[in-house]
Amino acid sequence: MKIYNTLSRKKEEFVPVEPGKVRMYVCGPTVYNLIHIGNARPMIIFDTVRRYFLYKGYDVNYVSNFTDVDDKIIKKAQEEGKTAEEVSSHYIEECKKDMESLNILPATTAPQATKEIDGMIDMIQTLIDKGFAYVAEDGTVYYRTRKFQDYGELSHKNIDELEAGHREIQVTGGEQKEDPLDFVLWKPKKEGEPYWDSPWCKGRPGWHIECSVMSKRYLGDTIDIHAGGEDLVFPHHENEIAQSEAANGCTFAKYWMHNGFLNIKNEQSSKYEKMSKSTGNFFTVRDVLEKYDPQVLRFFMLSVHYRSPLNFSAELMEAVKSGLERIRNAAELLRDKAASAQGDALTEEEKGLVQEAEGFRKKFEEAMDDDFNTADAVSSIFELVKFSNTQAAREGHTKAFYEALLKELEELSDILGIKTEKEEELLDAQVEALIQERQDARKAKNFARADEIRDQLAAQGILLKDTREGVKWTRA
Ramachandran assignment for 148, one of left (phi > 0), alpha (psi -120 to 50 degrees), beta (any other): beta
* Bridging pattern class, strands 10-13 and 2-5: antiparallel
Provide the minimum distance between the beta carbon of 12 and ligand AMP in the complex, in angstroms, as a whole number: 21
187 binds, among Zn ion, ligand AMP, none (CB under 5 to 8 A by kind): none
- CB nearer ligand AMP, residue 113 or residue 181: 113
Instruction: For residues 278 and 272, give the distance between their C-alpha atoms in angstroms, rounded to a whole number.
Output: 16
Provide the minimum distance between the beta carbon of 302 and Zn ion in the complex, in angstroms, as a whole number: 23
Residues that bind ligand AMP (CB under 6 A): 27, 29-30, 38-39, 41-42, 228-229, 231-232, 259, 261-262, 274-276
231 binds, among Zn ion, ligand AMP, none (CB under 5 to 8 A by kind): ligand AMP
DSSP state at residue 236: I
What string marks each residue from 195 to 234 as x (binds Zn ion by CB under 5 A) or -?
----------------x-----------------------
3 state SS for 243-312: HHHHHHCCCCEEEEEEECCEEEECCCCCCEEECECCCCECCEHHHHHHHCCHHHHHHHHHCCCCCCCEEC
207 binds, among Zn ion, ligand AMP, none (CB under 5 to 8 A by kind): none
Provide the minimum distance between the beta carbon of 421 and Zn ion in the complex, in angstroms, as a whole number: 36
Provide the minimum distance between the beta carbon of 316 and ligand AMP in the complex, in angstroms, as a whole number: 15
* 151-159 contact pairs (CB < 8 A, 24+): 151/181, 151/238, 151/242, 152/238, 153/7, 153/238, 153/241, 154/6, 154/7, 154/233, 154/234, 154/237, 154/238, 154/241, 154/256, 155/233, 155/234, 155/235, 155/237, 155/238, 156/9, 157/234, 157/238
Sheet holding 21-26, edge to edge: 59-64, 21-26, 223-229, 253-259
Provide the minimum distance between the beta carbon of 232 and ligand AMP in the complex, in angstroms, as a whole number: 5
Provide the minimum distance between the beta carbon of 103 and ligand AMP in the complex, in angstroms, as a whole number: 18
Provide the minimum distance between the beta carbon of 151 and ligand AMP in the complex, in angstroms, as a whole number: 21
CA dihedral for 97, 100, 102, 108, sign (positive or negative): positive
H/E element, 229: strand 223-229
261 binds, among Zn ion, ligand AMP, none (CB under 5 to 8 A by kind): ligand AMP
Beta bridge partners of 265: 272
41 binds, among ligand AMP, Zn ion, none (CB under 5 to 8 A by kind): ligand AMP
Which residue in the set 22, 24, 27, 74 belongs to the binding site for Zn ion (CB under 5 A)?
27
211 binds, among ligand AMP, Zn ion, none (CB under 5 to 8 A by kind): Zn ion
Which residue's beta carbon is nearest to the bound ligand AMP?
Answer: 229
- CB nearer ligand AMP, residue 225 or residue 331: 225
- CB nearer ligand AMP, residue 262 or residue 415: 262
* First vs last C-alpha separation in the chain: 48
- CB nearer Zn ion, residue 66 or residue 306: 66
Provide the minimum distance between the beta carbon of 429 and Zn ion in the complex, in angstroms, as a whole number: 25
205 binds, among Zn ion, ligand AMP, none (CB under 5 to 8 A by kind): none
- CB nearer ligand AMP, residue 27 or residue 368: 27
Instruction: Give 343's Cβ-side CA count (13 Å radius).
Output: 15
Binding site for Zn ion (CB under 5 A): 27, 211
